[in-house]
Amino acid sequence: MDIVVASRNLGKVAELKRLLEHLSVNVLSLDDFDDIPEIIEDGETYEENALKKARVVHQATGKIVLSDDSGLEVNALRGRPGVRSARFGGDDLTDYERSMKLLDEIKETPENERGATFQCRLAIVGPNGMEKVVSGSCRGSIIPAPRGGSGFGYDPIFLPSEYNHTFAELSPEIKNRISHRGRALEKAALFLDGYIYSQMQK
C-alpha cells in the first residue's frame, strides 16, 4: 500500500518515513509525482492547511495522503509565529534565518518567560471519503542561541521540557518519541493500522 507524504521538505519526509517504518506501506513524497499542483497554505488554522494539502494531493494521486501542518507558538510573542511558522519573516528566509529572527524578537525576554509549544495537526485523506485529523504537541522553551546539527526548522532553538538537549541535539529515536509530530503520527499510525487491517479482511 502506498502512502503519500504531502511535502517536499526533505527533513520532514525523512522524519515521517522513520515514524511509519513499522507499517507495511510504501512511503512516497511529492517529489515522486510530476503533476501535483502548487498548494497555497492560506488557512487560518493548522487543521485547515493540513486538510487542504491532503485533499489536493489525494485528488491528484488517488492514494492515501498524510499531510501535516505544524508551528511553534512562543508565549512571549503571544503565540506567534504559530500557523505562519514556515513563512515567518518572509518566504525567502532559510530555517536558520527564521530562527535568528525569532531569537532577535525575544532577546530581552527573561529565560523563565521563554516558554513555547510546538503544535502539529496531521490529516489523513483517502478513498471513499476517508478523512481523519489527529493532533500532537510538545512543550518546552526557546534558548538564547542555536544548538545542534540535526533536525530542521526551529529544532536548534527549542528545548523540550525535562530535557537538556534541543530537538536538533537529540537522537531521531528520542525526538520522534516526544515531538509534536511524533505524538500526532502515533495516533495516525493507529488509525492506519485499523484501516490496513480492514482492507486485508475484504
- Residues classed as catalytic: 69
How many CA atoms, within 13 angstroms, populate the side-chain half-sphere of residue 67? 26
- Rounded CA-CA distance 158/133 in Å is 25
In sign, the C-alpha dihedral spanning 183, 184, 185, 191 is positive
Residue 124 pairs in a beta bridge with 66, 132
Determine contact, residues 160/178, Cβ cutoff 8 Å: yes
Torsion of CA 87, 16, 30, 133, to 10 degrees: -70
Question: What residue type is 74 in one-letter code?
Answer: V
Residue 159 pairs in a beta bridge with 141
Determine contact, residues 57/65, Cβ cutoff 8 Å: yes
Q: Which residue has the cell 485528488?
A: 59
- Rounded CA-CA distance 180/175 in Å is 9
